[in-house]
Amino acid sequence: MFVDSAKIYIKAGDGGDGCVSFHREKYVAAGGPDGGDGGKGGDIIFQADDNLSNLLDFRYKRKYIAERGKDGAAKRCTGKNAPDLIIKVPRGTVVKEVNSGRILADISDDGPVVICKGGKGGKGNAHFATSTRQIPRFAKPGFRGDEYEVMLELKLIADVGLVGFPNVGKSTLVSVVSAAKPKIANYHFTTLTPVLGVVRLNEEQSFVMADIPGLIEGASEGVGLGHEFLRHVERCRLIIHIVDVSGSEGRDPIEDFKAINRELKNFSEELANAPQIVAANKTDIAQAEQIQRFKDHVEKEGYPFFEISAASAKGTKELMNAVFEKLSKLPPVKQFEAQPLTPEELDEKLFSRREFNVTVENGVYYVEADWLWDVLRSCNMEDYSSLQYFQRVLRSTGIIDRLEQMGIKEGDTVNIFDFEFDFID
Q: Enumerate the CATH 3.30.300.350 domain ranges in the chain, comma separated.
A: 354-422
Q: What confidence tens digit (pLDDT) does each residue in 154-209 have?
A: 988 889 988 888 888 888 999 999 887 766 555 455 555 678 888 999 888 899 99
For residue 123, which of 82, 83, 78, 80 has the smallest C-alpha distance?
Answer: 78
What percent of the chain is predicted at pLDDT more than 70?
Answer: 90
Q: What confidence tens digit (pLDDT) does each residue in 33-50 have?
A: 999 999 999 999 999 999
Q: Enumerate the CATH 3.40.50.300 domain ranges in the chain, comma separated.
A: 160-327
According to CATH, what is the number of the domain 354-422?
Answer: 3.30.300.350
CATH architecture of 1-155: Distorted Sandwich (2.70)
Instruction: Supply the pLDDT for residue 182.
Output: 63
Instruction: Supply the pLDDT for residue 165.
Output: 86
Is CATH 3.40.50.300 correct for 160-327? yes
Q: What confidence tens digit (pLDDT) does each residue in 110-141 have?
A: 999 999 999 999 999 999 888 878 888 888 88
Q: Which parts of the chain sit beneath pLDDT 70?
A: 1-2, 182-193, 214-229, 341-353
109 burial class (0-12, 13-18, 19+ CB within 10 angstroms)? exposed
Instruction: Supply the pLDDT for residue 185.
Output: 52
Per-residue H/E/C for the chain = CCCCEEEEEEECCCCCCCCCCECCECCECCCCECCCCCCCCCCEEEEECCCCCCCHHHHCCCEEECCCCCCCECCCECCCCCCCEEEEECCCEEEEECCCCCEEEEECCCCCEEEECCCCCCCCHHHHCCCCCCCCCCCCCCCCCCEEEEEEEECCCCCEEEECCCCCCHHHHHHHHCCCCCCCCCCCCCCCCCEEEEEECCCCCEEEEEECCCCCCCHHHCCCCHHHCHHHHCCCCEEEEEEECCCCCCCCHHHHHHHHHHHHHHHCHHHHCCCEEEEEECHHHCCHHHHHHHHHHHHHHCCCEEECECCCCECHHHHHHHHHHHHCCCCCCCCCCCCCCCHHHHHHHHHHCCCCEEEEECCEEEEECCCHHHHHHCCCCCCHHHHHHHHHHHHHCCHHHHHHHCCCCCCCEEEECCEEEECCC
Instruction: Supply the pLDDT for residue 13.
Output: 96
